[in-house]
Amino acid sequence: MSMNPRESGEFIVKNAKHLAIDVNGIQNLVKEVVEGIKTKQIDIENFSQHEHHPTVSDAYAPNWIFLIDTLNFCFWTPGDATKWKVNGYTGYFALCASINRAIKEGIDITNPAYYSSITVNELEHILRSDDNVTKCPLIEERVSILGDVGKKLMLKYDGNFKNCVIEAKNSAQALIKLVVNEFPCFKDEATYCNEKVTIYKRVQILVGDIWSCYRGEGLGQFDDIETVTMFADYRVPQVLVHFGAIKYSNELLDLLKKETILANGSPEEVEIRGASIYVVEQLKEMVLKEIKENCLDLSTKNVNSVLLDHFLWDYRRRFAYELEHIPFHKTISIYY
């Protein structure tokens, strides 16, 4: 029986050799989060208000979200290499922009009947960059994954991810289990200190996106949404290091500064991701305590790891220049 991501985070931090957690650093973040809730930077409404995201009224929303989160991995580029950009965006938002562009061009890209047999050339065209030269990384892997998930959706779920969500019966954990079992490209697991740990970045962000899009109602109602942890990637740890919540050892810092590629599943990589989960879980508890003890007039419905992750990820984008000196770990992986 493998540990869930929360348990995995605790286990990894307890055994970590390459980093340490500083409670004072987490406390620094508590102030930022409380302010973020006050100013509505942290709010369930924010997902659908973004120009690239679908809304509840879009019938294709579940399939759009599933497609995006199936392809949402490994956008970083080494050193000074030209970044893949679409409509001026990089990374995740470049992916959103390219998929939305394809929809406008009449390509049935959110339909698994189409992408289950997509070719490398077709996907390269859909993900073409602003300069028409730079390619989105790992195109072959993305094509292979689309083939696998598309065929399974067609075979068992009538070509609609909505049916997977319905089958989970308002349980985030049931949906996580279903997706991981049915679509192996979401099985983000590792062996650490002889124990199986789960990180589950993309499957949890998938659940979080459905919940956010539907504002926790209807199709997006998950009665156990608080059990979903943050989505351990390579950017949020930069913010956690910036605030002093995570402290890297000198050896790990040297590795990251040299842009050493960390193998997926290596102790260093697993520790960075596990510590991120642990810190955000602690942050969540500390924010809830702060609201309660100080009788703050703030809704606790906006205090969960999904929205805290959105806030931290956005913080990194907003203060990209200030955080640039903090190296982020680089791993070539389909899992994040």
To which residue do tokens 């810190």 refer?
279
Sign of the CA dihedral with 311 first, then 313, 317, and 320 last: positive
- In DSSP terms, 85 is beta-bridged to 90
Contacts of 172 (CB under 8 A, 6+ apart): 207, 211, 222, 224, 225, 227, 228
Give CA torsion, residues 321, 29, 4, 200, to 10 deg.
Answer: -20
Greatest Cα pair distance, the chain, in angstroms, is 57
Closest listed residue to residue 196, CA positions, set 48, 3, 46, 13: 3
Active site residue 233: yes
From 233, 254, 297, 314, the catalytic residue: 233
Long-range contacts of 190-195 (CB under 8 A, 24+ apart): 190/264, 190/265, 190/270, 191/265, 192/8, 192/11, 192/12, 192/15, 192/267, 192/270, 192/271, 192/274, 193/11, 193/15, 195/3, 195/11
Contacts of 99 (CB under 8 A, 6+ apart): 64, 67, 68, 109, 110, 126
Contacts of 6 (CB under 8 A, 6+ apart): 227, 229, 277, 281
CB contact at 8 A, 53 and 72 = no
Round to whole Å and give the CA distance between 289 and 286: 5
SS3 190: strand
SS3 128: coil
Round to whole Å and give the CA distance between 120 and 126: 10
Q: Which positions are catalytic?
A: 233
